[in-house]
Chains A and B, each alone.
Chain A
Amino acid sequence: EIVLTQSPATLSLSPGERATLSCRASQSVSNYLAWYQQKPGQAPRVLIYDASNRATDIPARFSGSGSGTDFTLTISSLEPEDFALYYCQQRYNWPITFGQGTRLEIK
């Protein structure tokens, strides 16, 4: 099983700042990594798929990068609605696995 480790567990920033979230895989997942955002009481929604492709209707301030074992989700300038939980997910191998999540909170 591929283990995804996200860091930091919690990130405290202010609106307008840049956020950098990390996801590290226990073995290479090529570029088969997605990022999701989840707000309280809501289902997750995909932000980025295959490491760097923005999903439909996702604002340009969200970007993804990386390949192999190290991946980054960057939010260029935080909006109030961006404070939420973020998960990475790999589809390179079965079982599909998720990271444990990064909580992005308002400082």
Chain B
Amino acid sequence: QVQLVESGGGVVQPGGSLRLSCAASGFTFSRCGMHWVRQAPGKGLEWVTTIWSDGSNQKYADSVRGRFTISRDTSRNTLYLQMNSLRPEDTAVYYCAKQGQPGINWFDPWGQGTLVTVSS
């Protein structure tokens, strides 16, 4: 079955960096666009970024553009999120998610999430 497992979360100081990983299995990773979605504590869902199946294009939310970079390694079936210049408002559970169908941007399934806390 399709499985997504995030890792790399933790506590980081404002201005710091962190790299999240999402290990994918159970589907042809190279055929699917992938997303990161976050959820601040007690808040709703916020789309963060999307990468095309072949890595040729990326989209970012305004709140993270210029600070976050999404990438993928097809040989490792792994999705990444490099987060730089972190701010307290980036504190959230970060979920990776697969495109529901190739080229169609709904989210199915989601990983279990990894918590990022930005605090001094």
Contact = CB atoms under 8 A, between A and B. Distances in A.
A and B from one complex: yes
Interface of A: 34, 36, 38, 43-46, 49-50, 55, 87, 89, 91, 94-101
Main secondary structure of the interface of B (DSSP, over half): strand
B41 interface: no
Interface string B79-111: 000000000000000010000100011111111
Contacts of B46: 98
Contacts of A50: 106
B110 A95 contact: no
A87 B45 contact: yes
Please provide the 3 A-B residue pairs with the shortest distance between their CB atoms, ordered closest to farther: A43-B110, A96-B47, A91-B105
Contacts of B106: 34, 46, 49-50, 89, 91
B44 interface: yes
Given A44-B45, A49-B100, A95 B108 contact: no
Contacts of B61: 95
A50 B103 CA distance: 13
A38 B100 CA distance: 17
Interface in B23-69: 35, 44-47, 50, 59, 61-62
Given A43-B95, A91-B104, A98 B110 contact: no
Contacts of B59: 94-95
A45 B110 CA distance: 7
A96 B95 contact: no
8 contacts: A36-B45, A36-B107, A44-B45, A44-B107, A46-B107, A49-B108, A89-B45, A98-B46
Given A43-B95, A43-B113, A89 B44 contact: no
Given A43-B95, A49-B100, A55 B108 contact: yes
Contact of A98 (B47, B109, B112): B47
A98 B104 contact: no
